[in-house]
Amino acid sequence: MLEENKNCWLVDSCDKSHCDTFCIKRFKLNYLYDLALIPVNKRRHIGLRPDADGTDEEIFSKLKPELEDKIVDLVSRGTNFYIFSKQCGNGKTSISLRLVEAYLNSIWEYANLECKVLFVSVPRFLLELKASLGKKNEYINHIKENVNTCDLVVWDDIGEKSATEFEGTNLYSMIENRLLAGKSNIFTSNLNPEEMHEAVGDRLASRIVYESMAIKLSGKDKRGINLFGGN
């Protein structure tokens, strides 16, 4: 096995047939994940486990056949997803990363080396947007350069941090432009539909909530559990 492939993050979902040679799959996926702004430690397949009492078991069991296996068609049709729960750490971001994984795994062979997916941490975006005033910011520039053209954007933790008028105008105009253009989005949030209206305003909240496939999670915080390597 080549030294560079020994700790490959694809180990759980690969037949390992190219571990002794240059792996084009690993090269292209790494490139696409880099453009998506998803770090290496978030690229390995994430297992999702329901609570011991079965909470969220139905949602997790339907994820692969109803969403992951159909993700290319869903994205091509501009499907939006609103994944929400009052509880932190029970799988909202993990589901979004599973959908990203399924999409990139489906398109990597024929995809050009250009931004196909963006993962935007909304709290980080708002902080860096404010800090970018009057100075160059590669993170903000990368998002602005690709947000209108990439296939799928994850807006993670939307509504968690209150936005100033300047921040909100920039963020919400990007989201609304994608929605109007029929581009696919994933919204994760600790806010229920009523709270979303209060956080981002009625017009945008209506689009996020009522033009999306809603996934409500009810399980407990699982951040202390090793979720990698599951199915």
What Å distances lie between residue 151 and 31, 46, 79, 144, CA to CA?
Answer: 16, 22, 11, 14
Query: 117-121 and 80-84 as β-strands: parallel, antiparallel, unpaired?
Result: unpaired
Task: Find out whether 188 and 90 touch, Cβ atoms under 8 Å.
Answer: no
pLDDT digits (tens, 9 = 90+) for 186-201: 999 999 999 998 888 8
* Full-model pTM: 0.90
pLDDT at site 49: 86
pLDDT at site 2: 58
**33 three-class SS:** helix
E-strand stretches of the chain: 80-84, 117-121, 152-156, 184-189, 213-216
From CA 33, how far away is CA 160, in angstroms rounded? 25
pLDDT at site 231: 36
pLDDT digits (tens, 9 = 90+) for 110-140: 999 999 999 999 999 999 998 888 788 999 9
- Going along the chain from its start, the domains and CATH numbers come out as 45-216 (3.40.50.300)
Torsion of CA 94, 213, 102, 45, to 10 degrees: 10
Q: Identity (one letter) of the amino acid at 110? A: Y
Percent helix, strand and coil across the chain, each rounded to 5? 50, 10, 40
Residues of the chain with pLDDT under 70: 1-6, 15-18, 222-231
